[in-house]
Every structure is written in C-alpha cells, then in structure tokens.
Amino acid sequence: MIKRLLITGAAGRLGSHLRGSLRPHAQTLRLSDIAPMAPAVAGEEVVPCELSDKLAVDRLVQGCQAIVHMGGIPNEQPFEKILDANIRGVMHIYEGARRHGVERVVFASSNHVVGFHRQGDLLETNCERRPDGHYGLSKSFGEDVARFYFDRYGIQSACLRIGSATHEPVDRRMLHTWLSYRDLSELVRCCLFAPSLGYTVAYGVSDNRDPWWSNAGARHLGFEPRDSAEAFRSERERVPALDPADPARIYQGGGFVKNGPFENDF
C-alpha cells in the first residue's frame, strides 16, 4: 500500500481509468490535471495544477511517495505547446520528486520515441531511440530525465512506451500496438510494486500477434499481459491497407511520422 500516490493527467483517458484501478493500492490518491476532474471521494485529493508551473508542481509533489505521470500533450503539436506541457512538465515532476524524497515515478513515455523504426522490426527496450516528431522528442527527453534522476539521485523510474491504449484497436496498426486498459492498469501496478525497479524501460502493449516490441528487458516487472488485439483482427482487416509507399505504413509511428510542421509555429 502506498501512503500517498500522485496521478497527473487524472482527467485524461488513461489517468481517469487509473484513478479507479489504482484506488486499492494507495491510502490516498492525489489527482491532478488542468482539466476539470470529478470531485474527490474518500481517500482522494483533487489538486488542479499546471505542469509548466514549477512552484505549483513542487507543492503538488510534496507529501507523495510515488508518482504516476500521465499528464501532458498526447499527440503531435507545435513545439512551444509540447515544450511547456511535456518538457518543462516532466522536468518539474522529477525536480519535485528529488526535493521531496519521492521514491518511484512511473512516466508515460510513448512508442513515438521509436517511431522511425520500421514496422515489422522487433525492438528491444534498449534499442536506439528514433523519435517521430516534437511529441516523440519530448518523451525521449523524459526518458533521459528519468535516467539522470536515477543515476544521480536514486529515484527509481519506469518509462512506459505506451502503444495505443484504447478500449479496442480501431485500425490495422493497432493490431500490433494495442494496450488494453486492463493490461495498462496491471503494468502500472507492476511498476509501482516491483521489488527493484531501478531505471526500467518497458513497452506498454498487450499480448498481440506479430509484435514490434519485446519486453524481455523488463521481465523483472513481472508484467503478464492478458489481452490481445486478435479478437478484432477480422473486422479491422476489412478496411483496405494503406499504400505500401505511405510512410504511415512503413514506420512504426504510423501517421505521427508525417504530422506537422505547423504553419502557426512562426
């Protein structure tokens, strides 16, 4: 049982799911976001906070033993937006963790840190990172921040390269990348309670056929996915496949590899 567990991005898709599934594992859940959240029930604290505000994040982190950092922009956006929410945000979370003695952080990284590897290649957790945009770059930076705060300050971290966490896979790519909500909850639970976490990179993916990612390097987490995209295959394969020359079909990052640049950046 964790005394006080902070979940950032608690109003979001994954954060609001984890709010329910992590409830039995913490005496108090501290829930934070900039978007409106459901009111606190017994054993919860709702603390709105902007991740780019260093002092506010410092106050947010104080008193927590562990952090599940889901907050931030989850897709490709102009650099300045990503800079504030994801890059400054992750730095502020770890700096708060250092100042207040937080023992463990579970960081929502993304498959988009390796998005320019080719579809069909099987990546290990220690493969070269090949981010596919501003968003992937910000998550890659977050993984480096996690590594640095472990090497220098001993804060243990799991960087979860989440695939596609949705109720069900909605396209052909997700037959490879899908992570069910049930498997997400179990993966995060494993990261919070693994006897020794150190600095761990793991792929957030269910037990899908023809995987692109191997979690052999993260076996110590004890994570055993229970779901698979297979049940959705026939329906998803009814939609015609993309042109073989389309970068979204060549690279693991799918459509992200061709998003932007954004005209309003200048």
Ligand X SMILES: NC(=O)c1ccc[n+]([C@@H]2O[C@H](COP(=O)([O-])OP(=O)(O)OC[C@H]3O[C@@H](n4cnc5c(N)ncnc54)[C@H](O)[C@@H]3O)[C@@H](O)[C@H]2O)c1
Beta-carbon-side half-sphere exposure of residue 209 (alpha carbons within 13 Å): 7
> Cα–Cα distance between 176 and 164 in angstroms, integer?
9
Tell me if 184 contacts ligand X by CB under 6 A: no
Contacting ligand X within 133-162 (CB under 6 A):
162
Nearer CB in complex with ligand X: 3/23: 23
Beta bridge pairs of residue 118 = 251
Tell me if 131 contacts ligand X by CB under 6 A: no
* Cα–Cα nearest to 70, from 158, 1, 2: 158
> Cα–Cα distance between 124 and 105 in angstroms, integer?
22
Residue with tokens 């042109």: 243
Tell me if 96 contacts ligand X by CB under 6 A: no
Which of 51, 90, 205, 218 contacts ligand X by CB under 6 A? 51
Tell me if 28 contacts ligand X by CB under 6 A: no
Nearer CB in complex with ligand X: 94/243: 94
- 94 as an active site residue: the answer is no
Separation of CA 83 from chain center = 17
Which of 74, 96, 225, 253 contacts ligand X by CB under 6 A? 74
Q: How far is the CB of 51 from ligand X (least distance, A)?
A: 4
Nearer CB in complex with ligand X: 74/254: 74
Contact predicate 79/265, CB 8 Å: yes
Q: How far is the CB of 227 from ligand X (least distance, A)?
A: 14
The catalytic position among 94, 135, 203, 251 is 135
The identity of residue 70, as a single letter, is: M
Contacting ligand X within 110-129 (CB under 6 A):
110
Which of 44, 46, 52, 215 contacts ligand X by CB under 6 A? 52
> Cα–Cα distance between 263 and 266 in angstroms, integer?
7
Distances in whole angstroms, Cα of residue 151 to Cα of each of 54, 66, 79, 146: 22, 18, 28, 9
What amino acid positions are annotated as catalytic residues?
135
Which residues sit at the interface with ligand X, rule CB under 6 A? 9, 11-15, 33-35, 50-52, 70-74, 84-85, 89, 108, 110, 162, 164-165
